Amino acid sequence: MDEETLTVWLDTALLMLGGFILTTVLMMSVVNPPAKSADSEGDKAPGNVVVEAQWGDKLDADVDLWVAAPGDRPVGYSNKSGEIFSLLRDDLGKSQDVTDFNYEIAYSRGMPSGEYVVNVHLYRAIGASFPIDVKLVASVRADEEGKSRQLVTTTVRLLRLNDQVTAFRFNLDSEGNLVPGSVNSLFKELRVASQ
C-alpha cells in the first residue's frame, strides 16, 4: 500500500470514528434526557408519611409494624408494599441481623387525606421478658427540603406472643395536616396472612 492510499484510508477511518462518537453523544441526550426538577414543572414534590417502630436493642424479638393508608390495603411483613405505603425494613430481632438495633420503618408515596392506622404485632420472642415496649413515631415531610414534622408518638406494651395492638389512628387533611381530635387507639385489625 503506497503512502497516499494509507493517508486516505487513515483519514476515512478517523472521520468514521469521529462520526460514531458524535452520533453516540447526541443519542445519549435522547436516550437519557436530563432530569427535570419538580419546581421546573410547577409541581410540588409529593409528601410522605413516615412511620417508625423501635424496641429494645439486643432483644431477640420480632416485632412487626403494620400500617394502612386511606383506601389502601395494610402493609406489613407479608405484604411489603401497597399503592401508598411500603415497608422498608422488616427487623427479625437477632435473626439475620448483624446489629443489635431493633427498628422497622414504613413510608408513603404521597399523603392522601383520610385515616391512617398504625399497629404493632409480636411475631416472635426468644428469651425475652414481658412486657416488650415499642416506641412509635409518625411524621410527615413538611416542606420541599425534606424536613419532617412529627405528628404522633407513643409507646405501646406487647404483653404476650401474637399480641397485636393499634398504636394510633389519625386523620390527615388534604394539606397533610393532622385533623384536630382525630388521634385515637381504637383497635383495628391490620395483620393479614402471608400471600
Residue 180's SS3 state is coil
Residue 78 domain flag: yes
Structure confidence at residue 27 (pLDDT): 76
Element (H, E) at 163: none
Structure confidence at residue 15 (pLDDT): 86
Element (H, E) at 31: helix 3-31
Long-range pairs of 90-96 with CB within 8 A, sequence gap ≥ 24: 90/64, 91/62, 91/63, 92/62, 92/124, 93/59, 93/60, 93/61, 93/62, 93/63, 93/124, 93/125, 93/126, 94/58, 94/60, 94/126, 95/60, 95/62, 95/124
Report, as an integer, the average pLDDT of 170-184.
93
Length of the chain as a residue count: 195
Quick one: which of 119, 126, 105, 123 has its CA closest to 63? Answer: 123
> Do residue 79 and residue 137 come from a single domain?
yes
**pLDDT band at residue 47, thresholds of 50, 70 and 90?**
very low
Percent of the chain whose pLDDT exceeds 90: 45
> Do residue 21 and residue 77 come from a single domain?
no
Burial class (CB in 10 A: 0-12, 13-18, 19+), 185: middle
Q: What domain range includes position 19?
A: 1-32
> Do residue 82 and residue 159 come from a single domain?
yes
Residue 178 domain flag: no
Residue 182 domain flag: no
Domains contained in the chain, number? 2
> Do residue 55 and residue 90 come from a single domain?
yes
**pLDDT band at residue 41, thresholds of 50, 70 and 90?**
very low
